[in-house]
Structure 1
Amino acid sequence: MTATLFTPYKLNDTLTLNNKIIMAPLTRCMADDNLVPTATMAAYYARRADAGLIISEATIIRPDGQGYVNTPGLYTQAQIEGWKVVTKAVHDKGGKIFAQLWHTGRVAHPFFFGEQNGEVISASNIGIEGTIPRNRELTYQQPKAATQADIAQLVSDYATAASNAIEAGFDGVEIHGANGYLIDQFLHYSCNNRTDEYGEIPENMARFAVEVVDAIIAAIGSDRTAIRLSPGAYFNMEPNQGDRAVFDTLLKQLETRHLAFIHLGIFDDAMEFDYLGGTASRYLRQQYHQTLVGVGSYTAETGSKAIANNQFDLLAIGRAFIANPDYVTRVRDGLELTAYDDAMLAELV
């Protein structure tokens, strides 16, 4: 039933994956206090190098992008050197790895980066309520709406982080444009009330994401550039019927960029969105005709069936990779999987 997962997959003329199983980005908060990857992280990723592709834990592009403790960065030379150890460990095992580039936007907190490194920034000055995961004493701050100068600098900083990723030995990058973080905050009406060229209408709301994509393509090539998107609003934002038109516009433009892939960002792909006409993966397949990565509570069996049914091309697995470093071998050999438990988040194995 799962045999289709173990055939190679050609992303493009540059990159061919050994199989169709992707290790999804998993926020483990494993970096040191300077956000430098550690030797423990190198061992962690190397043990999972049998995946067709590893997508790293979300990695911040600059200090004011940090919203969680000990998340790694890609903006200092020390961080680049730390990632070199990780990528070498993965490559020595025959694997491939992309860096996921991240700015949390209004989910960031000055506790992590200090007010001298800037304010909390978002598409608009619309905040969210609640406390920071793993730092429950910290409440979210009111963000400032990014100025056009801020946006230009952000686009440049994404491109620099992508170049840093290649210097660090990554095979490519995945832009984190999903799950309610900065880029996603521009793409949904509930958190974008701008009236300039980055707001109000779909073409404007998609503009920042496209500018980031184009800047990264210019820096490292479209063959090494991917993006994760959440067309269904579900995490730290409210849905809006107008969101579909924004993603229709964005996906039409991305179709012409010939990216390595688009990766769905969702925790459970059984969720349906009325304005998308069903599940987010179904919507993406209707709107985008190149490589799609599916994710969201799939098993190897259900994911393999979804690929066979042309719902997507590659299967991303998350928590099961935490519980089973040898996930690919276990599935291929029909061995029982260890069940995931939240307590495993405290273990670096």
Structure 2
Amino acid sequence: MSKLFDEVRIGNFNLKNRIGMAPMTRSRALEDGTPSDLAVEYYGQRASVGLIISEGTQPSDDGQGYTNTPGIYTKAHIDGWKKITSKVHSEGGKLFIQLMHVGRVSHPDNTPHHRQAVAPSAIAPNVEIFTAEGMKEIPTPRELTEGEIKEVINEFRLAARSAIEAGADGVEIHGANGYLIQQFLSENANHRQDAYGGSIENRSRFAIEVAKAVVEEIGAERTGIRFSPQGTLNGIEEGETNIDMYRYLIAELDKLNLTYLHVMHFGNEPLVQEIRELWSQALLINRPGRPLEHLGVDVDNEVADVVTVGTWLISNPDLVERLKVGAPLNEPDRNTMYAGGAEGYIDYPSMKQ
């Protein structure tokens, strides 16, 4: 795994190694979406990775899906994130805030305004979501008008501006995991008959327009984007037909010179190789479930510039140091993944401890 610990240049940033922290919802923000002071310690503890990509952060009230997730659209949010970015930078790290609009993957009980969720089409995902009263079926969302789509694109723009104001090194646009952008991409979630539905070009339009808006606001050198081709999370069913759409979409986004593309990989090796050929900038790959001993394969084979790690970074804040010396790892506690306080969040011991 020697190349994992090499420096790498991503856009305008020099990363101290090729290990990234994948975005992971932890549901520990304050009720108004302001990151808690515990998050300052949480991210600071993990600043030895080359790049931290934050948990999904909503750009608006409509963008929230889960309880106690952070926002980046009010002054309080910005002030809360400033503490985090300052801590990460003081530890020598880099941090991109992930902008996540969940679309239909929400429940009125979980949002500040308690309104019906919005989506490309009024199609429920047929999955349940956690609420303060336990698991509930996600209701059918309301279809966005074309005018409202433009407003959502502007929410991404303003959230990106707020992230930079908060001291973030950049933002990652969340186009994966069955949330709003992937809902537009997927035929089973998008039945629109206008400029944002139907053809490959139309279903890709929203993702491209969001990326362009963010680039116009903060620059391509501060903008990344994440996709999960053929992923089935949150009721998405893309199938083989969407491979052509990703070929088109990635080629179009490549023209914007984004800092990086982050792919959540679900096993289609030929598609990953095609993406590598289509994409001119840095490529980040996340392979859920990959054994740690194989973590460096994509970097060693020059498929990826950076590999991102999820759960193991929850339980091992000093994961980079442990990997370097082959030290044993802390096992993650699945019962404290979401919500709660310090337990299972900032109390995992380092090797020194």
- Shorter-normalised TM-score: what interval? over 0.9
Q: Amino acid of the residue matched to residue 308 of structure 1?
A: D
Correspondence for 2:319:
327
Matched, 1:120 2:112: no
**% of aligned pairs identical?**
37
Contact 2:106 2:117 in 1 (8 A): yes
Q: TM-score, normalised by structure 2?
A: 0.91
How far residue 139 of structure 1 moved from its aligned partner, in angstroms, is: 1.9
Deviations 1:301-333 (A, max 9, x none): 312122111221111000000110110111112
Residue type of the alignment partner of 1:144: R
**Match of residue 350 from structure 2:** none
Aligned residues of 1:63 and 1:117 also touching (Cα < 8 A) = no
Residues 63-95 of structure 1: per-residue CA shift (max 9 Å, x gap)? 111111100000110011000011111111111
What amino acid maps onto 1:340 in structure 2?
P
1:129 aligns with 2:149: no
Shift of 1:239: 2.7
1:298 aligned onto 2:295:
no
Q: Which moved more, 1:231-240 or 1:216-225?
A: 231-240
Residue 334 of structure 1: how far off its partner (Å) = 1.9
Q: Does the 8 A contact of 1:322 with 1:344 survive in 2?
A: no
Structure 2's unaligned 5+ residue stretches are 347-353
Q: Which residue of 1 aligns with 2:351?
A: none
Query: How far apart, CA to CA, are the structure 2 residues paired with 1:204 and 1:228?
Result: 19
What is the aligned partner in structure 1 of residue 60 from structure 2?
A: 62
Given residue 246 of structure 2, which amino acid in structure 1 is its aligned partner? Answer: F
Are 2:261 and 1:265 aligned?
no
Q: Which residue of 1 aligns with 2:3?
A: 4
Alignment pair present for 1:242 and 2:233: no
Letter matched to residue 320 of structure 1: W
Given that residues 130 and 140 in structure 1 are in contact (C-alpha distance below 8 angstroms), is that contact kept between their aligned partners in structure 2?
yes
Q: 2:304 aligns with which of 300, 309, 312?
A: 312
Structure 1: state its 5+ residue gaps. 273-277
Deviation of 1:300 after TM superposition, in Å, equals 4.4
Counterpart of 2:208 in structure 1 is 210
Using the TM superposition, give the Cα deviation of residue 124 of structure 1 relative to its aligned residue in structure 2, in angstroms. 1.0
Structure 1 moving runs of 4+ over 6 Å: none
Task: Assess, with a 3 A threshold, how the Cα gap between structure 1 residues 325 and 112 changes in structure 2: closer, same or farther.
Answer: same
How far 1:144 sits from its partner (Å)? 1.5
In the TM superposition, 1:280-291 aligns within 5 A as 281-291=272-282
Alpha-carbon displacement from aligned partner over 1:176-208 (angstroms, at most 9, x marks no partner): 010100001011111111111111111111100
Residues 130, 22 of structure 1: alpha-carbon distance in 2 compared, 3 angstrom cutoff: same
Deviation at 1:280, TM superposition (A): 5.2
> Match for 2:334: what amino acid?
D
The separation in 2 between residues aligned to 1:282 and 1:127, in whole angstroms, is: 33
Q: What is the letter of the counterpart of residue 260 of structure 1?
A: T
Where 1:311 maps in the other structure, the secondary structure is coil
Aligned-residue CA RMSD in angstroms? Answer: 1.6
CA contact (8 A) 1:106 1:181 kept: yes
- Would you say the 8 A contact 1:106–1:142 is kept in 2? yes
Report the CA distance between 1:283 and its aligned residue.
4.4
Equivalent in the alignment of 1:71 = 69
1:175 Cα deviation after fit = 0.3
